[in-house]
C-alpha cells in the first residue's frame, strides 16, 4: 500500500499542470552532464537512480554511478568500463571509468566523461567561404567518487568532479558535487533512490578573444555573463515485477527535476535470463527530444571468474536522428 501511494506521488509531481508555467530552457551551461553515460542506463531511458546496487549480485552499469553515486556501494569486483555514443551532427560522447572495492561495504570510483565536436572552419561576414582557420568544441568532466553501505538496506555516496568546457580559445572550468542514497524499503523488492547532481558554483568564460584595447589604449576585457551548472534532483523507484526460475523482469520509475527545464518522468523495464542476457525498453515523458529507448546486454564469463559485459542502446529523438550507445565493462 505504501509503495503504491509513493508511485502515485511521483506521478503527481511529474504530471502536475503547475510545472508547465516556466521551463527556463537554455539557462544553464555544461549540459553534457545531463546525458546518459552508459548503454544499460540509456536502454532504460536513464531511469536508474534506484537500480539495485552491485552488492545485490548484479552489475549496475558504469553510468549508474553518474546518476546515483550510492549505486556502486559494496561491489566486490573491480571494474574497467568504456562507453562510446554516436550522436547527430557527428557529435561524439564517451565515458571511461574504473572502480575498486575498499571493503565489503565501500567502493571507490574514478572516471572521465567527454563530448567532442569535429573541427569547423571559421567564417565571417567578410569571408563567408571561410578564413582558413578552424575552431573546435570540447567538454570534459573528471570524477572521483566514494559510496558505502551504512546498513544492509541503506547506501550513500558522493562524487566530486572538475568540469572544463573549451570553445576555440575560450574556456570555462570549475568543481561540482553529486550526492545520493539508495534504500531497500523492505516491502517486496522495492528500492528508493534519491540523488542531487551537479551542485557547484556558476561558471564564466575566459580567454584571449575576450581581451581588447579600450579607446585610450589601455587593455580591457569583455564582461561575460556567468552561467549555472545543470542542477538535477532525481527521485526513483525500482521493483522486481515478475520472476520465474532464472528469469526476472525489473521495473523502474524516475522523476527528474532540473533547474533549466520542466519536470520529466522516465520509465524502464528490463528482462533478464540467468543474469546473462538482458532486454531493455525505456520511455521518456515530457522531454523535448528523447522519446523511447531500446537496449540489449550480454554478460560473458571469462577465466578466473572474470566477466565481460557488453551493452547496446538506441534512443529515438524527435526531429533528429536516433542515437547509438555501446558500452563494454570488464569485471575482475
Model pLDDT, residue 222: 77
264-280 residue pLDDT tens: 999 999 999 998 999 99
pLDDT band of residue 129 (cuts 50, 70, 90) is confident
pLDDT confidence of residue 104: 87
Cβ atoms of 29 and 170 closer than 8 Å: no
- Residue 100 and residue 113: Cα distance in Å, rounded? 18
**Which region among 11-25, 208-222, 229-243 has the lowest average model confidence (pLDDT)?**
11-25
Between the CA of residue 325 and those of 40, 49, 91, 331, what are the distances in Å? 9, 19, 12, 20
Confidence of residue 73 (pLDDT cuts 50, 70, 90): confident
Distant-in-sequence contacts of 141-144, Cβ < 8 A, 24+ apart: 141/30, 141/32, 141/33, 141/112, 141/113, 141/114, 141/176, 142/111, 142/112, 143/66, 143/97, 143/109, 143/110, 143/111, 143/112, 143/113, 144/108, 144/109, 144/110
91 within 8 A of 54, measured Cβ to Cβ: no
- Cα separations (Å) of 189 from 6, 125, 184, 248? 15, 62, 7, 12
Half-sphere CA count of 220, side-chain side, radius 13 A: 10
Residue 236's pLDDT band (boundaries 50, 70, 90)?
very high
- For the chain, domains (ranges, CATH) are 2-14+30-119+134-203+225-331 (2.40.160.40)
What pLDDT does 55 receive?
44
Percent of the chain with pLDDT over 90: 59
288-327: pLDDT as tens digits = 889 999 999 999 999 998 999 999 999 998 888 889 999 9
Question: What gap in Å lies between CA 85 and CA 47, rounded to an integer?
Answer: 18
Query: For residue 13, what is the enclosing H or E element?
Result: helix 2-15
Q: Could you tell me the three cell numbers for 99?
A: 572502480
In the block, cell 527528474 appears at 256
CB atoms within 10 A of CB 57: 9
* pLDDT one-digit tens code per residue, 31-44: 999 999 999 999 99
pLDDT digits (tens, 9 = 90+) for 167-224: 888 899 999 999 999 999 988 889 999 999 999 999 988 887 777 766 676 777 777 7
Which residue, 72, 68, 81, 70, is CA-closest to 39? 81
Amino acid at each position: 500500500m505504501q509503495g503504491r501511494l509513493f508511485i502515485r506521488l511521483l506521478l503527481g509531481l511529474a504530471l502536475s499542470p503547475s510545472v508547465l508555467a516556466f521551463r527556463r530552457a537554455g539557462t544553464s551551461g555544461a549540459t553534457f552532464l545531463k546525458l546518459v553515460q552508459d548503454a544499460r542506463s540509456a536502454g532504460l531511458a536513464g531511469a536508474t537512480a534506484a537500480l539495485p546496487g552491485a552488492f545485490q549480485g548484479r552489475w549496475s552499469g558504469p553510468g549508474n554511478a553518474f546518476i546515483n553515486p550510492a549505486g556502486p556501494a559494496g561491489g566486490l569486483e573491480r571494474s574497467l568500463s568504456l562507453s562510446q555514443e554516436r550522436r547527430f551532427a557527428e557529435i561524439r560522447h564517451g565515458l571511461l571509468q574504473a572502480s575498486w572495492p575498499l571493503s565489503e561495504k565501500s567502493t571507490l570510483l574514478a572516471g572521465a566523461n567527454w563530448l567532442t565536436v569535429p573541427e569547423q572552419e571559421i567564417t565571417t561576414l567578410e569571408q563567408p567561404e571561410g578564413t582558413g582557420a578552424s575552431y573546435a568544441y570540447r567538454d570534459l568532466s573528471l570524477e572521483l567518487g566514494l559510496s558505502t553501505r551504512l546498513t544492509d538496506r541503506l547506501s550513500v555516496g558522493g562524487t566530486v568532479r572538475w568540469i572544463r568546457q573549451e570553445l576555440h580559445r575560450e574556456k570555462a572550468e570549475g568543481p561540482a558535487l553529486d550526492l545520493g542514497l539508495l534504500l531497500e524499503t523492505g516491502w517486496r523488492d522495492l528500492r528508493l533512490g534519491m540523488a542531487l547532481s551537479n551542485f557547484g558554483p556558476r561558471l564564466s568564460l575566459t580567454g584571449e578573444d575576450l581581451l581588447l584595447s579600450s579607446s585610450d589604449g589601455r587593455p580591457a576585457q569583455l564582461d561575460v555573463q556567468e552561467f549555472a551548472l545543470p542542477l538535477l534532483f532525481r527521485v526513483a523507484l525500482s521493483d522486481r515485477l515478475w520472476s520465474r526460475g532464472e528469469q526476472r523482469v525489473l521495473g523502474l520509475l524516475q522523476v527528474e527535476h532540473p533547474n533549466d527545464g520542466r519536470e520529466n518522468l522516465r520509465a524502464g523495464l528490463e528482462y533478464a535470463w540467468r543474469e546473462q542476457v538482458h532486454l531493455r525498453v525505456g520511455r521518456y515523458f515530457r522531454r523535448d527530444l528523447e522519446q523511447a529507448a531500446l537496449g540489449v546486454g550480454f554478460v560473458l564469463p571469462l577465466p578466473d571468474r572474470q566477466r565481460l559485459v557488453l551493452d547496446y542502446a538506441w534512443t529515438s529523438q524527435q526531429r533528429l536522428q536516433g542515437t547509438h550507445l555501446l558500452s563494454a565493462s570488464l569485471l575482475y
